[in-house]
Structure 1
């Protein structure tokens, strides 16, 4: 119980700090949006994998972004992609910059004609369920290492090689190879029981064959903590005087596994694209809470070659790569009604429990 309470308190604190960080950035974001012209942007997602059975279930999607003043609308058919299973629908995410923070972000289900406001707040029950899942699952961290990344021009042709330049959508683009892109993953499991490990292994084997958590009847169960580790005999003086980076271990013995995987990626840069990288990042600042945009935002923050990345490959999981293509862009004006909730829509606060 003490461990559960400590993890719960830490999780609440981290989420509160995240919300405060977003609110701190809000004035700067709104000013950046004001300076941009009004436009329509269309991008396509295509998920791929070298695992044959997995490739059959991976989704693709076309996202349409409308920007007018300090308002943004994003239309998508991909509701979520969790546990190797995608949910389809007809959704619109609307951000109205002039509204108060608690009412500025809303998601519309255009098929069911309902909407839900996104408050980024959770009930006690939701927090406790999340902690239960965390305490019975591997602690997993995956990051893209960009320290050693370099770019080189992609070549085309068999006998006479030349730099690859092709049209992507409406834009002429130069293709580059991304060298030195490494996905670093770390996994710890000393907090798991043997039952947890066997169950998690069975779930992952099912997912790799196209299954999902529903088929596993997986539900978070409040469980007893593991037996406490033996009391250590290390004194405070021994701990603080230890050699740098070699402090004696306290608590349960670590069970840690690290792995690195090199990725081959390409990026197509167009100097004809009217939007700049910084402008795109400002737009993604609004839609970044949605999972399939986070990796795109991380990728475009790298030091890219000249131009705008109209097509790129992004590793999103160790076995999955996403191809993102910016198909269309135009400056335009829109009716204000597309940034408002239709009168016939009804509010459903529980329509999207994961948002």
Structure 2
């Protein structure tokens, strides 16, 4: 049997043989990869769209390169649907893990700072107050919106109810206006269209933080007599470490962009780096003219070197880069919560596709203790810092904190971006 006969679904897609494809769908695995590409069709049959080819690109990335707006929209919609379904499968276990953790009150401060004055002026910072009781969480914050180069401050509360249906589990309250809004579980068609416009007018990006070569070394203090750095972080004594070997590997492609697109994106990034923001509206992007038929035969495609298939769409205009970061982390053995419990809380309210990788790193590679302070550069001129100031286990947290007050009215448009 020829090697290519092991991928009959791919051959049908390659040859646009819909009749044969419809028959094979009944008996073949639609998630199977060939030696080059991910399945990019068959969404109605549950083909996974997060899967990557040997070059590290997803079907969504390839569809952006090709430039057919409807295909991009279908893949984006399916990607979000599959992400929600995956979360719902894990939801019972996540909620149970949250219930198993004792009730607590936590304060953490996060801020971004820069040595560039104009940039530093617009970077956000805040103190978040978190209450947890059973499978309910309450987060109080002051940041509301960003307008005219300034952050709007207010009195905002997020309430998560693990016992509620997914569509109703998360609400945001404006305590000054005494209104609340349910955070939408699914994006509207208009929001999906806006996201397609952004994807079609931006670089195609693929990035991952490599943690394979990370090492930790004790930070030193003192001028004449150097010694290991140990300081109080909030209420907790902590040992400071340098994180070495933290590497961001990124790739980007722009074969789908016009010279005008590239220039506009460059100008936008330059204005942002100077502390200004030109809020350009994205217009609806039409589909691109399809690339010419490459004239590649199926046998030639599949029998080429794995990971180096012949080009079937636009010729890639790509660039790869690697940046090394040196972060600082403060570990405290006095902090009452363990790292695993923190991760259980975070995964309930802020799940993302790399969470398991984060969990593995946080539970196996960190020095002893709890990371009460983390400082890491996110851009050449901007550093992010998260500090755990206060923590205490509590047995008497009021139930009222986790319910919307009866004198609040619902305003579905108070926070249009949520």
Partner in structure 1 of residue 223 of structure 2: 158
CA separation in 1, counterparts of 2:220 and 2:376? 20
**Equivalences for 1:101-112 in 2 at 5 Å?**
101-112=166-177
The CA distance in 1 between the partners of 2:377 and 2:154, in whole Å, is: 25
Q: Which residue of 2 aligns with 1:33?
A: 98
Per residue, is there more strand in 1 or in 2? 1
TM-score (norm 2): 0.77
1:330/1:125 CA distance change after superposition, 3 Å: same
Q: Specify the alignment match of 1:137 in structure 2.
A: 202
**How many Å apart are 1:317 and its aligned residue?**
4.5
Distance 1:5 1:172 in 2: 55
SS in 2 for 1:286: helix
Look up the match of 1:266. Answer: 328
> Which of these residues, 401, 406, 415, is aligned with residue 338 of structure 1?
401
Q: How many residues align?
A: 350
Off by >4 Å, runs of 4+ in structure 1 = 80-87, 295-302
Q: Match for residue 121 of structure 1? A: 186
Root-mean-square deviation (Å)? 2.7
Please tell me whether the aligned partners of residues 68 and 288 of structure 2 are also in contact (alpha carbons under 8 angstroms). no
Partner of 2:319: 257
What is the correspondence of 1:218-233 to structure 2 with a 5 Å cutoff? 218-233=280-295
Question: How many angstroms does 1:305 deviate by?
Answer: 0.6
Aligned-residue offset at 1:238: 1.1
Structure 2: segments with no counterpart, 5+ residues:
1-65
Deviations 1:203-259 (A, max 9, x none): 222222222243xxx222123333332321221111111122222222111111222
Distance 1:299 1:58, change over 3 A: farther
Pick from 314, 321, 328 the counterpart of residue 390 of structure 2: 328
Q: Which of 77, 80, 99 pairs up with 1:12?
A: 77
Greater shift after overlay, 45-54 or 99-108? 45-54
Assess, with a 3 A threshold, how the Cα gap between structure 1 residues 301 and 317 changes in structure 2: closer, same or farther: farther
Q: Distance in 2 between matches of 1:266 and 1:82?
A: 32
Alignment of 1:1-355 (within 5 A): 3-79=68-144, 86-214=151-279, 218-288=280-350, 300=362, 303-317=365-379, 319-332=381-394, 333-355=396-418
Change (3 A) 1:81 1:249: farther
- Asked whether the 8 Å contact 2:67–2:288 carries over to 1, the reply is no
* TM-score, structure 1 as length reference: 0.90
Q: Which runs of 5+ in 1 are unaligned?
A: none
Q: Of the two, which has the highest radius of gyration?
A: 2
